[in-house]
Copies of this chain bind each other. A is one copy, B any other.
Amino acid sequence: MCYNPSVMDYLDTYAGKAVLITGGLGFIGSNLARRLVDLGAHVTVIDSLIPDYGGNLFNIDGYENRLIVNIADVRDPYAMRALVKGQDLLFNLAGQVSHMDSMTDPFTDLEINARSQLSILEACREENPDAKIIYAGTRQQYGKPRYLPLDEDHLQAPTDVNGVNKLAGEWYHVVYHTAYGLRTSSLRLTNTYGPRQLIKHNRQGFIGWFIRLAVEGKEIQLYGDGSQLRDLTYVDDVVDAFLRAGATDTANGGIYNLGGPAPISLLELASLIVEIAGRGSVTLVPWPEARKKIDIGDVYSSYARIEAALGWKPVTPLADGLARTVAYYTQHLARYTE
């Protein structure tokens, strides 16, 4: 049997470690924070709690006394400089994640997704150059696929301002590794789903919104024939990828796609959600012109590079992940809609 100790023992490395998570009250950040607390890490979460961005104090329900919550904005360079001191690891997940908002307010997107990343890296370079830093990139950086599945050698050709700024934010991390030796790496996430996702509005992606509509017994509208393929990664699998990347210097300077178990059409996905929820319905409607312009067709990613380097692959079957997600929001709906 093939056994790589540096990979297999990665969960043990977190006991006693000082870990900072930007965006730590958000969807992925809070799931990561809870897991790290369970592994024995000393966790500080930073979140700005900007309304509609995804930060939610209920996301750390039951963990309030087991981690430190620091309300701050990554755009505040002095706060960041103070907070990175003494940390062993930084999981850099704060971001403006709405593609639509990036077009209506491009400067806020730039400040959060590009400028703040540069500011955080400067803070680490000056105050804590040995920290391990893992950045959350996005497959949105690739834009409209030239071939599928998307691998890390695919051209980056973003189709919205958010994609451009996320790309810049990622490459600052790579440059600070190349030029200064900072121990950075980037995971390019695809569609992530699971408990603690923002479902208050539909501007942060379709999955959470579909799940909310089903749980509320409402109609899910799909554009066109709903045949566009997507891949989905369950949040626990995404958390596992961050834990692997954070535990080894193998990942330093590296960029890795995550990916889902297998691509699925939006029509199949919506139907599966409705079936699992036992409520809701699916309807096909024509494409709105503004959305059609920035649509990128089928898109799904190859995770071959991270599987080879860090042993990661998505292990949660879609139906299981969706069932857990539907159960979570059925129980806690008001915490995410009010």
Q: In the complex the two chains form, is A167's CB within 8 Å of B159's CB?
A: no
Q: Which residue of B lies closest to A178 (CB)?
A: B159
Q: For the A-B complex with A159-B179, A161-B175, A164-B168 known, give 15 more contacts whose Cβ atoms are closer than 8 Å.
A: A106-B122, A107-B118, A107-B119, A114-B168, A153-B155, A155-B155, A155-B156, A161-B172, A163-B175, A164-B171, A164-B172, A164-B175, A168-B168, A178-B293, A179-B293
- A-B contacts, 9 of them at CB < 8 A, read A107-B119, A110-B115, A114-B168, A115-B115, A155-B156, A159-B179, A164-B168, A164-B171, A164-B175
Chain A contact residues, CB within 8 Å of chain B: 103, 106-107, 110, 114-115, 118-119, 122, 153, 155-161, 163-165, 167-168, 171-172, 174-175, 178-179, 293-294
In the docked arrangement, what's the CA distance between A106 and B173, Å? 13
Query: When the two chains form their complex, are residues B178 and A294 in contact, meaning their CB atoms are under 8 A apart?
Result: yes
A112 → chain B closest CB, angstroms:
13
| Contact among B156, B158, B179 with A103 in the assembled complex (CB-CB below 8 Å) | B179
CA gap between A319 and B294 in the complex, in Å:
47
Which of A119, A122, A156, A168 has the most C-beta atoms of chain B within 10 angstroms of its own C-beta? A168
With A158-B171, A172-B161, A179-B293 known as contacts, the answer to whether A114 contacts B110 (CB < 8 A) is yes
Alpha-carbon distance between A178 and B159 when the two chains are bound, in angstroms: 7
When C-beta atoms are compared, the residue in chain B nearest to A154 turns out to be B155
| In contact, A175 and B155 (Cβ under 8 angstroms) | no
A330 CB to closest chain B CB, in angstroms? Answer: 37
Within the complex, the shortest CB–CB distance from A160 to chain B, in Å, comes to 6
Residues of chain B with a CB closer than 8 A to A172's CB:
106, 161, 164
Measured between alpha carbons, how far is A167 from B172 in the docked complex, in Å?
Answer: 12
Q: Which residue of chain B has the shortest Cβ distance to A156 in the bound complex?
A: B156
**6 A-B pairs closest in CB distance:** A168-B168, A164-B171, A164-B168, A106-B118, A159-B178, A156-B156
CB <8 Å contact, A174 and B153: no
Residues of chain B within 8 A (CB-CB) of A114 are: 110, 114, 168
With a cutoff of 8 Å between Cβ atoms, the chain B residues found around residue A110 in the complex are: 114-115, 118
CA distance A171 to B155 in the complex (A): 12
